[in-house]
Amino acid sequence: MERKTQSGYLVLADISGYTSYVAQTEIEHADMALSYLLETIVEKIGGLLTIGQLEGDAVFAYAEEGQLKEGKSLLELIDQTYLAFREKALALYAGATCPCRACKALPTLDLKFMVHHGEFLLQRVAGITHLLGTDVNLIHRLAKNRVTESTGWKGYALFTGQVMEHMGHSKDNFFKQSESYEHLGDVDVYCRDMHVRYKEMKAS
């Protein structure tokens, strides 16, 4: 069966602090809280993009070329997803009726986004769709970056130069740096502090 290479947007929404949260808290309450947060992410992102896969502490989604009318809608989706995530985490924390570590540590969780535009193959096996390709590998590798090390940000949106150019969005007011990955080379990325965006959205 012939598979056709497609192009489009690739988005990975990854919960920051997940590993330490699970390791240091009661697994039953931690699992419940994380399920609520992942459901919130899926609900928001799934309204515009196609959910490709749930990956433990992350949601991978994509939009085939032409599925999004303009790049601005993707930026708005990221803003609204982050807002919903923070509001849900705070609501779970405020509504907790037990003193367990999992409930107390909810505010330590944050959300980061990796956004790229590239090519991929859709592989369907036993009714399940998987994405394959170098650009798919890249967006997952981008989750391991030096943004927090460079800026101190835990919640942020990272855009590759390729997706910024495809969206036609200005790179002004974005923090820029270069990431390097074996077999993939150097990648210019443009980042936005989502804590600042959260405050701006709440103020408006």
Other C-beta atoms closer than 10 Å to the C-beta of 157 total: 25
pLDDT of residue 88 exceeding 60: yes
| Confidence band, pLDDT 50/70/90 cuts, at residue 66 | confident
Largest interatomic CA distance in the chain:
56
Question: What mean pLDDT is predicted for residues 143-152?
Answer: 95
In angstroms, rounded to a whole number, what is the distance separating the alpha carbons of residues 10 and 137? 11
- Average pLDDT of the residues in 59-84: 92
Ramachandran region of residue 29, left (φ > 0), alpha (ψ -120 to 50) or beta? alpha
pLDDT tops 80 at residue 118:
yes
* Nearest in space to 98 (alpha carbons), one of 187, 32, 143, 189: 32
Residue 46 has which token pair? 């799934």
pLDDT (mean) for 5-11:
94
Q: What would the mean pLDDT of 135-160 be, rounded to a whole number?
A: 96
User: Under CATH, domain 6-203 is a member of which superfamily?
Assistant: Nucleotide cyclase, GGDEF domain (3.30.70.1230)
22-56: pLDDT as tens digits = 555 556 666 777 888 999 999 999 999 999 998 87
pLDDT of residue 1: 43
Radius of gyration of the chain (CA): 17
Which pLDDT score, from 0 to 100, does residue 35 have? Answer: 85
pTM assigned to the model: 0.91
Q: What is the mean pLDDT of the chain?
A: 88
Long-range pairs, 128-135, Cβ under 8 A, ≥24: 129/52, 130/52, 130/53, 131/10, 131/52, 131/60, 131/62, 133/5, 134/184, 135/10
Q: Are 191 and 159 in contact (CB under 8 A)?
A: yes
Instruction: Yes or no: say if 144 and 112 are a contact pair by the CB < 8 Å rule.
Output: no
Altogether, the residues listed in the chain come to a count of 204
